[in-house]
């Protein structure tokens, strides 16, 4: 008899516990507005849903190993849904510094089990948000080419420069100790013409303060990039495949197309990455020079349809000038600078890249011989090697190209002293410039 009573009591206890567990709740936490920065006093809204109400809730900010309570609810609530509005930031938590932090919201259910929920957001503390002020000049832009903008940024920021669509160009302090900053930027050959270049100051991902540059696209003077059919012979395929894919096997045409597309892409990435090997000052003081006595066989941004036995096998855009002179002509540095690449580079064959400062670089491809080394300083007109047909080249020529912060541009403006005077020298100090 007694035994069965114990069993019944135990059963009741188990059932009660089960009821408590089943009926208990976990709060559902939500921050209805997107929060990514904390400023002086950033308004925050926290929404909590819990069928038994909320026993306790708090918000803390963690930064550099320390934790700061920024808000706490004052008394338990039985409401199923509760919304709290409060502010967090430097005003109430002066210990916060500029930089990354974590906002943590916690709430505990108002029932026996006191289940709790926690929500974390990565935030950036910005004590003084940046403001950007751009020069009031009219910027004449040409598709595929470059320009220079001056501006000033105040407040706190982690990065600044120019955005053109999805491309980014760095900002540099004005030379000669002048106030403000500048960016050399490019309007890439394939950028939609409706894109407005903007100066930006960044305070963490997705938190850019921007200001547009006043740009004018003189319609009449825009370049008309050309389209050409490029007949691919079996001999050319053999030459390219034998040189750039010597150990490969299979259909030579497929291997050629792979080299032309995938290797080209990888080589262009290698070129683009050289933007980080740049001087923080101008290394030149004269207009750029075009290889003397050379014939342009192909211009910048020429769209090439590759035709093999009457059938199109590939399409690529040629991002440079093919300059032909005599065979094995001495390849001259277009301007003073520092060699940042001297060696083989896939489709570009034996290749030299010269840095001229502020992300501006010249590229020389298909050489038969290289006579400079990475790190060498070169002078305008200095012979750096001999022309040839290494890489994706069917005849002896120099593939001459230029890039700005890794974006390949039409070099022709930089050959023009008037353009350099109007777009560069008028806006920043270019010591010793002689047009
Ligand atoms: Zn070329």
CA of 167 to the centre of ligand 1 (A): 24
* pLDDT tops 70 at residue 428: yes
Write down the pLDDT at residue 251: 96
Ligand 1 centre and the CA of 241: distance in Å? Answer: 17
Cα 105 to ligand 1 centroid, rounded to whole Å: 58
Residue 6: pLDDT band with limits 50, 70, 90: confident
Mean pLDDT, range 247-260, rounded to an integer: 96
Chain centroid to CA 43:
31
Cα of 402 to ligand 1 centre, how many Å? 12
Which of left, alpha, beta for 346 (phi over 0: left; psi -120 to 50: alpha)?
left
**Res 415: pLDDT:** 96
Residue 347 CA to ligand 1 center (angstroms) comes to 9
pLDDT at residue number 205: 59
Mean pLDDT of the chain: 93
CA 337–ligand 1 middle distance (angstroms): 22
Ligand 1 centroid – CA 46 distance (Å): 59
Cα-to-centroid distance, 21 and ligand 1 (Å): 73
pLDDT tens per residue, range 261-318: 999 999 999 999 999 999 999 999 999 999 999 999 989 999 999 999 999 999 999 9
Joined together, the tokens standing for residue 412 give 């022709």
Q: How far is the CA of 391 from the centre of ligand 1 (A)?
A: 10
Q: What is the pLDDT of residue 34?
A: 81
CA of 318 to the centre of ligand 1 (A): 6
pLDDT 10s digits, 80-97: 998 999 999 999 999 999
CA of 322 to the centre of ligand 1 (A): 5
How many angstroms separate the alpha carbon of residue 349 from the centre of ligand 1? 11
| Token pair 């001087």: residue | 279
Q: Distance, CA 104 to ligand 1 centroid (Å)?
A: 55
């Amino acid at each position: 008899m007694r035994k069965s009573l114990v069993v019944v009591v135990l059963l009741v206890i188990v059932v009660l516990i089960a009821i408590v567990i089943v009926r208990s709740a976990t709060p559902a936490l939500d921050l209805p507005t997107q929060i990514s920065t904390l400023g002086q006093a950033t308004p925050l809204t926290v929404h909590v849903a819990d069928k038994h109400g909320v026993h306790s809730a708090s918000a803390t900010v963690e930064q550099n190993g320390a934790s700061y309570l920024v808000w706490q609810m004052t008394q338990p609530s039985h409401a199923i849904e509760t919304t709290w509005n409060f502010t967090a930031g430097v005003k109430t938590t002066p210990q916060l510094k500029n930089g990354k932090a974590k906002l943590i919201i916690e709430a505990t259910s108002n029932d026996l089990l006191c289940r709790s929920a926690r929500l974390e957001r990565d935030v950036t503390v910005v004590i003084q948000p940046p403001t950007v002020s751009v020069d009031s000049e009219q910027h004449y832009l040409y598709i595929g080419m470059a320009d220079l903008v001056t501006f000033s940024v105040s407040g706190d920021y982690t990065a600044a420069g120019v955005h053109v669509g999805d491309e980014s160009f760095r900002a540099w302090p004005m030379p000669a100790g002048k106030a403000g900053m500048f960016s050399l930027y490019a309007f890439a050959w394939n950028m939609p013409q409706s894109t407005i270049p903007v100066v930006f100051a960044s305070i963490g991902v997705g938190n850019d303060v921007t200001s547009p540059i006043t740009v004018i696209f003189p319609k009449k003077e825009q370049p008309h990039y050309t389209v050409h059919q490029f007949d691919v012979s079996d001999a050319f395929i053999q030459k390219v495949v034998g040189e750039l894919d010597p150990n490969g096997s299979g259909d030579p045409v497929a291997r050629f197309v792979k080299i032309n597309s995938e290797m080209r892409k990888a080589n262009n990435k290698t070129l683009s990455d050289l933007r980080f090997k740049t001087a923080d000052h101008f290394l030149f003081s004269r207009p750029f020079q075009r290889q003397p006595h050379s014939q342009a066989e192909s211009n910048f941004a020429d769209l090439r349809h590759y035709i093999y036995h009457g059938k199109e096998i590939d399409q690529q855009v040629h991002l440079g000038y093919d300059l032909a002179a005599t065979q094995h002509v001495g390849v001259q540095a277009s301007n003073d600078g520092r060699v940042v690449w001297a060696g083989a580079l896939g489709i570009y064959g034996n290749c030299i890249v010269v840095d001229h400062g502020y992300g501006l670089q010249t590229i020389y491809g298909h050489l038969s011989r290289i006579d400079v080394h990475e790190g060498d300083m070169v002078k305008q007109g200095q012979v750096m090697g001999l022309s040839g047909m290494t890489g994706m080249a069917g005849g002896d020529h120099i593939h001459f190209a230029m890039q700005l912060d890794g974006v390949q541009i039409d070099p022709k403006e930089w050959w023009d002293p008037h353009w350099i005077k109007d777009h560069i020298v008028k806006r920043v100090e270019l010591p010793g410039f002689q047009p």
